């Protein structure tokens, strides 16, 4: 069990996911946002795009876009350098395709605050995911 003074479990993992920002890592590790991120990471690891696309509320959209963006960046980084930045567990893939997808997720992250239909936006985000 990895703990720091604030009682955070998996502190190194959360710090990596937060891009090295300690306060954001603490927020992820102790708040509802972290729980939402965990759900998305489990869904991505299981390859269950249907469950991820069944997003019914706006609050779940931003964590979905964030995880997909960081996973895409990690896949691109892994293919270019052999290392990841966000600790998403991603494996190397087509760097160009994953960078384009990460860019699209960045645009979608701004849209998650005001979607007309959360399910439709989630389905669109997942449909654009590269295959390799």
Contact yes or no for 124/57 (Cβ under 8 A): no
Most confident of 10-14, 50-54, 89-93, 113-117: 10-14
Asked if residue 57 is part of any domain, the answer here is yes
pTM, two decimals, is: 0.85
Domains identified in the chain, total number: 1
Q: Which residues lie closer than 8 Å to 114 by C-beta, 6 or more apart?
A: 58
User: Model confidence over 40-71: pLDDT tens digits?
Assistant: 888 888 877 777 887 777 888 888 999 999 99
Average pLDDT over residues 4-31: 83
Predicted confidence at residue 5, as pLDDT, reads 47
What are 97's two structure tokens? 């395709």
Asked if residue 1 is part of any domain, the answer here is no
Residue numbers of the domain that contains 117: 11-127
Asked if residue 2 is part of any domain, the answer here is no
Contact yes or no for 58/115 (Cβ under 8 A): yes
- Residue 9's φ and ψ, nearest 5 degrees, are -85, 150
Contact yes or no for 72/106 (Cβ under 8 A): no
User: Model confidence over 18-37: pLDDT tens digits?
Assistant: 998 999 999 888 888 888 88
How many CB atoms are located within 10 Å of the residue 64 CB?
Answer: 27
For 80, the enclosing helix (H) or strand (E) is helix 58-81
Span of 61-65, 82-86, 116-120 with lowest mean pLDDT: 116-120
Asked if residue 61 is part of any domain, the answer here is yes
- Taking the mean position of all CA atoms in its chain, how far away is CA 49? 13
């Amino acid at each position: 069990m990895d703990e720091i003074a604030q009682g955070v479990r998996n502190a190194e993992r959360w710090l990596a996911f937060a891009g090295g920002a300690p306060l954001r890592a603490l927020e992820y590790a102790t708040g509802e946002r972290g729980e939402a991120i965990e759900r998305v990471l489990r869904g991505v690891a299981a390859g269950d795009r249907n469950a991820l696309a069944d997003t019914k509320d706006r609050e779940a959209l931003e964590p979905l876009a964030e995880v997909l963006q960081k996973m895409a960046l990690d896949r691109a980084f892994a293919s270019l350098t052999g290392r990841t930045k966000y600790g998403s567990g991603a494996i190397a893939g087509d760097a160009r395709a994953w960078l384009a997808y990460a860019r699209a997720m960045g645009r979608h992250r701004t849209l998650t605050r005001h979607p007309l239909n959360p399910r439709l936006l989630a389905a669109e985000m997942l449909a654009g995911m590269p295959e390799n």
